Copies of this chain bind each other. A is one copy, B any other.
Amino acid sequence: MSLGEFDLIRHFFDRPELRSSRPDVLGIGDDCALLSVPEGMQLAQSLDTLVSGVHFPEHCDPFLLGYRALATNISDIAAMGAEPHSFTLGLTLPESDTDWLQAFSDGLVALAQPSGLALIGGDTTRGPLTISIQVQGLVPSGQALRRNGAKEGDLIYVSGSLGDAAGALPAVLEGLYPQNCEDASVQYLLQRYYQPSPRVKLGQWLAANGATSALDISDGLLGDLGHTLKASQVGAELNLEQLPLSPQLLNVAGKQKAQGYALSGGDDYELCFTWPAHKTLELPEEIRAECSVTCIGRITDAEGICDRATGQPLSAAAYRHF
């Protein structure tokens, strides 16, 4: 890109709303960003790439795209129990369209500001629309929520409701957005798809209060829970009747499809965590006001995931036709 374009892009990303208020952070403008990590803390980092036509529809609303790209990354920070710190952005664009850049940047700001995330560096290049974001957060040393800590007998919980983003997919593919959708239930599902709520406070609380494992559900409950089980060398049984389904999803998809979406649909960015059975899980009011948590099963010493009611194995593949 020419220097003029670089200046243009700097205008959209070196915005006061995206600058760090931390005195020990050097942001955009030198060869590198600089930051320090307080003693007793670790830096948690996650990088995700979103490709146009693969991870989001071509010609996607740029505000929602900026918001969603950041949200899906913050969700990984939440899943480790870390506090959001900063992010870097690798943006590849076919052309420098100022309206598009303004809306994309506004979408980043809309989530970065309330999350306390500063944009501290990155790169803008010419090419097919691709967004790589690395988000980083701070977590007390040794307290991060790993995937390998689930123990037999632990209860399995999920936050919020599951399957909403999968339930939105038909509307997403039709090109509907929350702001131009008339059906209130579909509008809600679209909102869940485009503006997922990373469970940051919940993750931090779980890390500080003894959850044994956590991850975020990006590829579907069965597949993602499978990662925890593999890392922890345990199995799970699920109570399908307990899966938290939103009334809007039940309205749009009916119970059977909704269960399928909840088990195998991706993009929900809720947390799935395990909790020792002998401890009461009492979330503070501040967190309960943001999202519910629901016990959906327990960790076993068997292999794989089974349906508690029937004892039959549950596989993501079996639900993928929903």
Tell me the A residues contacting B by CB distance below 8 Å: 3, 24, 26, 29-37, 39, 41-55, 76-77, 79-80, 82, 88-92, 120-123, 125-128, 130, 132, 134, 137, 139, 141, 144-148, 214-216, 223, 231
Identify the interface centre among A79, A82, A134, A216: most chain B CB within 10 Å of its CB.
A134
Establish whether residues A92 and B51, one from each chain, have CB atoms under 8 Å apart when the complex forms.
yes
Establish whether residues A34 and B139, one from each chain, have CB atoms under 8 Å apart when the complex forms.
yes
Establish whether residues A127 and B125, one from each chain, have CB atoms under 8 Å apart when the complex forms.
no
Query: How distant is A205 from chain B, measured CB to nearest CB, in Å?
Result: 16
> Chain A's interface: helix, strand, loop or mixed, by majority?
strand
Chain B contacts for A145, CB-based, 8 A: 31
Chain B contacts for A130, CB-based, 8 A: 49, 92, 127-128, 130
* Contact A47 to B123, CB < 8 A, known contacts A29-B231, A34-B144: yes
Docked CA distance A127–B130 (Å)? 9
* Contact A92 to B37, CB < 8 A, known contacts A32-B77, A147-B30: no
Establish whether residues A80 and B30, one from each chain, have CB atoms under 8 Å apart when the complex forms.
yes
**26 pairs from A and B in contact (CB 8 Å cutoff):** A26-B144, A30-B147, A31-B46, A31-B79, A31-B216, A32-B46, A32-B76, A33-B45, A34-B43, A34-B44, A34-B45, A34-B80, A35-B42, A43-B43, A45-B120, A47-B123, A47-B134, A48-B123, A49-B91, A50-B125, A51-B125, A51-B128, A90-B90, A127-B128, A130-B130, A132-B132
Docked CA distance A88–B3 (Å)? 27
Chain B residue with the shortest CB-CB distance to A35: B43
Docked CA distance A89–B45 (Å)? 12
Establish whether residues B120 and A90, one from each chain, have CB atoms under 8 Å apart when the complex forms.
no
Chain B contacts for A47, CB-based, 8 A: 88-90, 121-123, 132, 134
Query: How distant is A165 from chain B, measured CB to nearest CB, in Å?
Result: 18
Chain B contacts for A36, CB-based, 8 A: 37, 41-43, 141
Chain B residue with the shortest CB-CB distance to A148: B30
Chain B contacts for A48, CB-based, 8 A: 90, 123
Docked CA distance A130–B52 (Å)? 12
Chain B residue with the shortest CB-CB distance to A120: B45
Docked CA distance A55–B147 (Å)? 38
Given contacts A30-B148, A31-B215, A88-B134, 4 further A-B contacts (CB under 8 A): A29-B231, A47-B121, A47-B122, A55-B125
Residue from B55, B82, B132 in contact with A49 in the complex, judged by beta carbons closer than 8 Å: B132
Docked CA distance A42–B144 (Å)? 21
Query: How distant is A1 from chain B, measured CB to nearest CB, in Å?
Result: 10
Establish whether residues B29 and A44, one from each chain, have CB atoms under 8 Å apart when the complex forms.
no
Docked CA distance A86–B33 (Å)? 15
Establish whether residues B43 and A37, one from each chain, have CB atoms under 8 Å apart when the complex forms.
yes
Chain B residue with the shortest CB-CB distance to A133: B90
Establish whether residues B45 and A126, one from each chain, have CB atoms under 8 Å apart when the complex forms.
no
Establish whether residues A88 and B45, one from each chain, have CB atoms under 8 Å apart when the complex forms.
yes
